[in-house]
A and B are shown apart, each in its own frame.
Chain A
Amino acid sequence: MDIEITNNGHRKGFIQGHALLPGDKMKIKDVDKDGMKQLEKVQWLAVEKVVKKTKKEEDKTTDEVKE
């Protein structure tokens, strides 16, 4: 699954080769269950699943923008 992580702490954090400042967000693609468990253990991190929009919803959004 694709996820988005946010540094919810107030220190610089390090995750998968990236340094994240407080408030910084980062997207990670194709995280498996074990990876998810590991990330959820990290105290300062908020982990959210990225819900993929269906084609229909994407079209709807595009139409709304056109209007």
Chain B
Amino acid sequence: MVYQFYGNQITCKIGSAITTIDTTADLSTDFTAEAAGEDFSNEVTECTFTDGESGVEVLNVFGTQLKGESRPELVRVDFTMVADDMAMFNQFYGSTTTVATTWQRQVCAEKTGSREDKSVLFIVTDGTRTQHILMNNAWFLSGGEFSLPADGRVMWSGSAVCLVSDLYTEDNY
């Protein structure tokens, strides 16, 4: 029997980085306990998750062939979501300032050397079988790209990356 999961069974949460990944609790419990995060599931339309590829090349020597490895690329997730408010934008630029009582203003500034570590958690579950994928110490690559089509809705897309050694996955079946 091959289990299949569907889009409405996915939860996507983003928060601050988890200090220590606990070995006695599952990743979702860890996230809830430490990450001070938000649930973006109701806004995400698509996430493409790419594991860090490590290339293998052939090295020809006179007598034989050798395999030569390159070290893994970054693990990457690309989000596409409904542009609901600035919450995802703020994941990159940090805190906002309240101006004119009711407005939240983001004063953008260069983040080189001071990017905040984040955690990105995906939960895929049918209620019984659950998979968790966690990117810890992840960095957002930009504040996001807004798409404003004349014939559609306003969408936001953005990407975050982490090292292979900060990627965790688990399932319970």
Cα of A24 to Cα of B96 in the assembled complex, Å: 21
B22 vs chain A, min Cβ distance (A): 12
Q: How many interface residues does chain B have, given as a range?
A: 10 to 19
Of chain A, the residue at the smallest CB distance from B13 is A14
Of chain B, the residue at the smallest CB distance from A19 is B32
B32 close to A14 (CB less than 8 A): yes
- Which residues 34-63 in B have Cβ within 8 Å of A in the complex? 35-40, 42
**Given known contacts A43-B87, A44-B87, A13 and B39 CB-to-CB distance under 8 angstroms:** yes
Cα of A41 to Cα of B39 in the assembled complex, Å: 17
Cα of A19 to Cα of B37 in the assembled complex, Å: 9
Task: List 8 contacting pairs A-B, 8 Å CB cutoff, sorted by A.
Answer: A12-B38, A12-B39, A13-B38, A14-B13, A17-B32, A19-B32, A40-B95, A43-B96
Q: Which residues of A are at the interface with B, using a C-beta cutoff of 8 A?
A: 9-19, 38-45
